[in-house]
Amino acid sequence: MDSRIAGAQRLFEHLAEHRWMYQPLLGYPRDRRFVIRARESLSGGIPERIDTAEPDPGQVRMPIPLIPVFATELFPSVIAWWLDRSLPCSPRQTAEWFIRFLFYGYVGALGRDHRLPDDTPT
């Protein structure tokens, strides 16, 4: 997890250093063509990194092509939020929040144990 956070941190540091260029492209309102190209570029390597573990019995696995859509739609929104607010937190903190949300979801990003509706810890 630390290597993923470190990689995202380097990207957020780059975005901060060149925010004058990225703000018009990724801020609100966004340059739609740039976002589409960025999404295509980002989604290219995601399927190869997806864990091939089988879903739990009784659960249906999300279709593999849908997984990059979630990740690549989330990323430009996080960047836009961060840039539009004049970098309210460090690149490291933003990277950590993004990676934790991406891998552990909403509840994990809040720093809580993920629990199923019947309160069974996962």
Looking at every residue in the chain, the average pLDDT score rounds to 78
Q: Which residues pair with 115 in a beta bridge?
A: 121
Sole residue written with tokens 């849908």: 66
* pLDDT band, residue 87 (cuts 50/70/90): very high
**CA 43 to chain CA mean position, Å:** 11
* Number of folded domains that form the chain: 1
* Domain-embedded: residue 115: no
**Which tens digits make up the pLDDT trace of 20-72?**
988 887 776 666 777 777 777 766 666 665 655 566 777 777 787 787 778 77
- Measure the CA angle with vertex 51, ends 49 and 55; round to 5°: 150
Distance CA 17, CA 67 (A): 30
pLDDT at 116 over 90: no
For residue 13, the enclosing domain spans 2-47+61-109
Query: What proportion of the chain, given as a percentage, has pLDDT over 90?
Result: 20
pLDDT at 10 over 90: yes
* Domain-embedded: residue 36: yes
